[in-house]
A and B are shown apart, each in its own frame.
Chain A
Amino acid sequence: DTAVSQTPKYLVTQMGNDKSIKCEQNLGHDTMYWYKQDSKKFLKIMFSYNNKELIINETVPNRFSPKSPDKAHLNLHINSLELGDSAVYFCASSHHGAGVDTQYFGPGTRLTVL
């Protein structure tokens, strides 16, 4: 199936731990994104990468570090997890990351910090 996939789907962890979420797209897109959706369903962009280069960084705490080993993968590493990091994290991709490109979203990773 052609799609944007994320692993894991659910992640439960303790405060202070470090965790990673992986994202892969097989759509041949150049641009990938990470979004955070909070408990009120508000969806906000965190990062955008184009051909492995960071192009958008929305004042996210530096505990969050995206890593793009190639243009098909964009992983999100989170250090020293806090209660407020609990949310659903969505990865997305688009063809060129500009203009009127459609963004295709993954199924999300629900992160719960205890």
Chain B
Amino acid sequence: GENVEQHPSTLSVQEGDSAVIKCTYSDSASNYFPWYKQELGKGPQLIIDIRSNVGEKKDQRIAVTLNKTAKHFSLHITETQPEDSAVYFCAASISQGAQKLVFGQGTRLTINP
């Protein structure tokens, strides 16, 4: 089955700097890669996703890149703000049939003012 590895487990950056979180996956059939943000005491919320027919996707300060050959994808947050502090999860899924998201281990991002 699918296995998703996520790094780093913790990341601390200065406000205004960029943050990058990386994930690798094992199943070459996976073709849908969402990123979720989990704030303290809340459930995960989708912030951006990418499909395997696209190499990069951007939404304001957030971007995701995908390298299908290497089976890795990354989340990039630019101009970080204190409200970006949270735990971020990557996930992978096959887009046919029942959706079964396999999550990475999570990255605790702290933005220092």
Interface residues of A (CB under 8 A from B): 4, 31, 40-45, 48, 50, 55-56, 90, 92, 94, 97-108
Q: Which of B23-63 contact A (CB under 8 A)?
A: 32, 34, 36, 38, 41-46, 49, 51
What are 6 A-B residue pairs whose CB atoms fall within 8 Å in the complex?
A43-B89, A43-B106, A44-B103, A48-B100, A98-B96, A107-B42
B18 at the interface (CB under 8 A from A): no
Decide if the interface of chain A is mainly helix, strand, loop or mixed: strand
Q: How far is the CB of B45 from chain A (nearest CB, A)?
A: 7
Cα-based distance from A107 to B102 in the complex (angstroms): 20
Contact with A along B62-90 (1 / 0, CB 8 A): 00000000000000000000000001010
Which residues of A are found within 8 Å of B51, using beta-carbon distances?
100
Contact for B46 among A41, A45, A102, A106, CB less than 8 A: A102
Other than the given A56-B98, A94-B99, 18 more pairs (CB < 8 A) read A4-B43, A41-B38, A41-B105, A41-B106, A41-B108, A42-B105, A48-B98, A48-B100, A90-B44, A97-B98, A99-B32, A99-B95, A100-B49, A103-B34, A103-B46, A103-B99, A103-B101, A107-B41
List the 8 closest pairs (A to B, CB-CB), nearest first: A105-B43, A43-B103, A41-B106, A55-B98, A99-B95, A100-B32, A102-B46, A105-B44
User: Given the known A-B contacts A99-B95, A100-B95, A102-B49, are A43 and B100 also in contact in the complex, defined by CB atoms under 8 Å?
Assistant: no
B97 at the interface (CB under 8 A from A): yes
Cα-based distance from A73 to B77 in the complex (angstroms): 36
Cβ-closest chain A residue relative to B93 = A100
